[in-house]
Amino acid sequence: MAKELNFKQELTAAFGKPIAENPTQAMIEAAYRHHRLDWRYLTIEVDAADLGDAVRGARAMGFAGFNCTIPHKVAVIEHLDGLGESAALMGAVNCVVRRDGTLIGENTDGKGFVQTLRGLTDPAGKSVVLFGAGGAARAIGVELALAGATEITIVNRSEGRGRDLADLLNGDVREAAAPDLRAEFVPWRGDFAVPAGTDIVVNATSIGLYPDVDARLALEVEALTPAMIVTDVIPNPPRTRLVRDAEARGCRVIDGLGMLVAQGVIGVEYWTGVSPDPTVMRAALEEVFEA
């Protein structure tokens, strides 16, 4: 008996440049296969000058959505139809979702971080030291604030970016949804001693990213205590020097793979409506990174 055939796959993608070393395809397509979704996630190099055409192409071809990475996270906004709450506050989009024929920009970087953190603690009322003030730090800072963190100390090398993030948190973010938040900027000079009583320490800088795997985050390791949760955004390698030092001090630790997987989970949920199995996605990344 003849059966109905369908060779049309649903499309999702990552747009960026450089993009070749971005491992997201491995984990997202592992989820699609595991959940028997006939979907694809394509890794596509898009030049900054071609972003508008790429988004128009995605619309024309009915993409269910796409992730954006360097250098498109801010530039993509003008090509979209609307923004989710945290993406609007951050002014950055890393995940575009087609909803009722419109393209809406979301930011899953910080949401993935907070989701992973919730596995260990509720951020509400917590005190945080956040190293870094770039894109990842902005996403994490905003989502921590929206999740109810009350003290965020931003430690960053360049003062301009550090102050911008503190101003964003003390201004629009506090006004929107975080009335009890106090954010402070501290210029990063020498080894930073994390204050006693800090609940959560976050490395949101690129220090430790392959190939500079032995690069050291300038902090006093002795100031880390077992009561602290220490998290690192670096996905490759997942066992950074900070992760190893924090474990040796008895801290509970979340590595960068946890955050990467969690933001992938949210993206797949946005696009397909299916909640994917994070263990399948993490296993795919561990294979890629030989972790």
Residues lying near ligand NDP in the complex (CB under 6 A): 109, 112, 132-137, 156-158, 161, 205-207, 209, 233-235, 256, 259-260, 263
CB 201 within 8 A of CB 129: yes
Minimum CB distance to ligand NDP, residue 160 (Å): 8
73 counts as catalytic? yes
- Beta-carbon-side half-sphere exposure of residue 262 (alpha carbons within 13 Å): 22
Minimum CB distance to ligand NDP, residue 129 (Å): 14
SS (H, E, C) the chain: CCCCCCCCCEEEEEEECCCCCCCHHHHHHHHHHHCCCCEEEEEEECCHHHHHHHHHHHHHCCCCEEEECCCCCCHHHHHCCEECHHHHHHCCCCEEEEECCEEEEECHHHHHHHHHHHCCCCCCCCEEEEECCCHHHHHHHHHHHHCCCCEEEEEECCHHHHHHHHHHHHHHHHHHHCCCCEEEEEECCCCECCCCCCCEEEECCCCCCCCCCCCCCCECHHHCCCCCEEEECCCCCCCCHHHHHHHHCCCEEECHHHHHHHHHHHHHHHHHCCCCCHHHHHHHHHHHHCC
Closer to ligand NDP by Cβ: residue 81 or 164: 164
Minimum CB distance to ligand NDP, residue 120 (Å): 16
Closer to ligand NDP by Cβ: residue 235 or 237: 235
**Token pair recorded at residue 101:** 């024929």
Residue nearest to ligand NDP according to CB distances in the complex: 134
Minimum CB distance to ligand NDP, residue 228 (Å): 20
Closer to ligand NDP by Cβ: residue 134 or 148: 134
Closer to ligand NDP by Cβ: residue 10 or 19: 19
Among 8, 73, 111, 126, the active-site one is 73
CB 128 within 8 A of CB 200: yes
Residues identified as active-site? 73
